[in-house]
Amino acid sequence: MGIKNDLILTNKIKNMEFSPFNNVVKRCLEGMDMEEKGKHAEAGKLFLQAWDEATNDFEKFLAAHYLARNQETVSNQLKWLQRALEYALKINDDTVKSAFPALYLNIAKCYEDLKDAKKSKEYSELAILFKNHPSDKGPFYHGTKADLQVGDLLRAGGISNYKAELKMNHIYFTAMANGAGLAAALANGDKRERVYIVKPTGNYENDPNVTDKKFPGNPTRSYRSEEPLEIVGEVTDWVRPTPNELQKFREKLANSKGEIIN
């Protein structure tokens, strides 16, 4: 079948994929906006709507996570965290595995507050056990508007697409072709978007700019490395965002006040 087709097939059969265009993800984003405005009751309604609209284990896990942090009592928070864990354990996918350390740690904190030292210690130890190097083995992708060839190396040191004055100390990539496509569409330049299949040549880590920020773990499967990425192929059948979706992302980036962890 060939390496390119094999990798495309592998990507297509992933049973879970985080997407900002998913309806449940959108509900959670809307809920977070309400939280930031101090409207916790409205946020809770949106998270509950996300739970009711969820159709698979990943969506249930995500909605339960936000419902947990919206609760006023520790016992209710623990109930929703355990429900989130129940669905996360069903998934067995790298989209969710990165969330286990924080999830176990939050459950441990609940048990600590409830004066159950034995359970708190049990979940604290699980959090430490799962906090190691990313388990994700790819395939990996990098989105850009540059014309490159198989065998070329992508290196750190480029200028950020999001802050023109920032020279990047890492090269970034993802295990989601569509996510790389979005990055390509948002990249500087007027050439066509390209999504390359890449192979890390050294160690890599979860991207700290997204891991355990708004969403639990690293659901976008975003990584970075100080070592080069080797281009081993290209995909062309990734889903392109609509002009309206791109405009919304550009507006969010323009309004973002967060600092990039470089």
Coil/strand/helix, residue 67 = helix
Greater pLDDT, 239 or 106:
106
Average pLDDT over every residue of 150-168: 78
Q: Per-residue pLDDT tens for 17-30? A: 677 778 999 999 99
pLDDT, residue 108, reads 97
Helix (H) or strand (E) holding 100: helix 100-113
DSSP for 191-205? Answer: SPPEEEEEEESS--E
Percent of the chain with pLDDT over 90: 55
Bridge partners for 87 per DSSP: none
pLDDT band at 1 (very low <50, low <70, confident <90, very high): very low
Per-domain residue ranges of the chain: 17-73+83-89, 140-255
Q: Which pTM does this prediction carry?
A: 0.68
Per CATH, which fold does 140-255 belong to? ADP-ribosylation fold (3.20.170)
The burial class, CB within 10 Å (0-12 / 13-18 / 19+), for 200 is middle
Please tell me the least confidently modeled range out of 43-52, 140-149, 155-164.
155-164
**Length of the chain counted residue by residue:** 262
To which residue do tokens 């879970």 refer?
16
What is d(CA 206, CA 223) in angstroms, rounded to the nearest whole number?
5
pLDDT, residue 4, reads 41
